[in-house]
């Protein structure tokens, strides 16, 4: 698979299961990274910026700092996400707004800021981590709405960014063995697994493989794509 020359890339949520797998892939390919996350992860081979992405404006600030650290950027990979598993009886607008900020506003902020700090050479891209939960009748209202919004934002940004040479994607995992899914009730986890045609959960490396291809592989005739990686989820 043809790969791009060394690029400068920001990975949000680099301490998570999928984010860390993405970071490992990119480092192995020789790209320069800056990780953006809420908690330190002691990453090897790249620097991290600690921010709370539930605070409006912090994603944009982090991308600007990253560009000042490693230079003009080629791409953003938005892996950071929040899943609270809140039932409707526990719903609050405060919690809803925080989830929407992390899962939807922060990726948009990061993408818009890329236009201000992008390099003048090489390919340019944004890869957002969505979820099949956007379309599978998830009972977690804020999570489902935020991920559905991210799909729409991806398509809208792809249309606006294409003339500028920036491609935009949304990768939508199904049930995946990450710390986020580990926090689910075991009966819910089992139900999600049973809903897949392959009869198993995905692995972070499998999601990261697609993200890596879109960012660095022979994908130049793709943009605006919303791609499920869900083991054949049957809603």
Give all strands of the β-sheet with 8-12 in edge-to-edge order.
47-50, 32-37, 8-12, 75-78, 124-129, 166-173, 226-229
Dihedral angle over CA of 126, 129, 130, 131, nearest 10: 160
158: left (phi over 0), alpha (psi -120 to 50) or beta: alpha
CB atoms within 10 A of CB 232: 11
pLDDT per residue rounded down to tens, the chain (235 residues): 445 689 999 999 999 999 999 999 999 999 999 999 998 887 889 999 999 999 999 999 999 999 999 999 999 999 999 998 777 888 999 999 999 999 999 999 999 999 999 999 999 999 999 999 898 877 889 999 999 999 999 999 999 999 999 999 999 999 999 887 877 778 888 988 999 999 999 999 999 999 999 999 999 999 999 999 999 987 6
Bridge partners of 8, per DSSP, are 32
pLDDT in the model for residue 218: 95
pLDDT in the model for residue 3: 53
pLDDT in the model for residue 186: 87
Pair 22, 8: CB distance under 8 Å: no
The predicted model scores a pTM of 0.94
C-alpha span between 10 and 23 (Å, rounded): 9
pLDDT in the model for residue 63: 98
pLDDT in the model for residue 1: 44
C-alpha span between 77 and 60 (Å, rounded): 13
How would DSSP label each residue in 3-18?
Answer: -PSP-EEEEETTTSHH
C-alpha span between 11 and 16 (Å, rounded): 11
How would DSSP label each residue in 109-139?
Answer: HHHHHHHHHB-SSS-EEEEEE--GGGTTT-S
Q: Which residue has the tokens 């994603």?
A: 59
**pLDDT tens digit sequence for 107-135:** 999 999 999 999 999 999 999 999 998 98
């Amino acid at each position: 698979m043809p790969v791009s020359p060394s690029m400068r890339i920001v990975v949000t949520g680099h301490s998570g299961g999928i984010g860390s797998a993405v970071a490992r892939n990119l480092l192995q390919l020789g790209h320069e990274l800056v990780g953006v996350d809420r908690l330190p992860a002691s990453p090897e081979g790249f620097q991290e910026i600690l921010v709370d992405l539930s605070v409006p404006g912090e994603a944009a600030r982090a991308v600007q700092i990253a560009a000042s650290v490693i230079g003009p950027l080629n791409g953003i990979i938005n892996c950071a996400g929040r899943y609270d598993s809140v039932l409707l009886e526990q719903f609050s607008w405060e919690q809803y707004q925080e989830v929407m900020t992390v899962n939807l506003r922060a990726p948009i902020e990061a993408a818009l800021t890329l236009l201000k700090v992008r390099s003048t050479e090489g390919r340019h891209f944004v890869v957002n981590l969505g979820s099949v939960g956007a379309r599978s009748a998830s009972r977690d209202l804020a999570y489902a709405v935020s991920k559905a919004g991210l799909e729409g934002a991806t398509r809208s940004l792809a249309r606006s960014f294409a003339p500028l040479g920036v491609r935009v994607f949304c990768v939508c995992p199904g049930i995946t063995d990450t710390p986020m899914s580990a926090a689910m009730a075991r009966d819910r986890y089992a139900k999600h697994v049973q809903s897949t045609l392959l009869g198993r959960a995905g692995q972070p490396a499998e999601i990261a493989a697609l993200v890596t291809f879109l960012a660095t592989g022979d994908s130049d005739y793709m943009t605006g794509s919303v791609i499920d990686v869900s083991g054949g989820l049957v809603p």
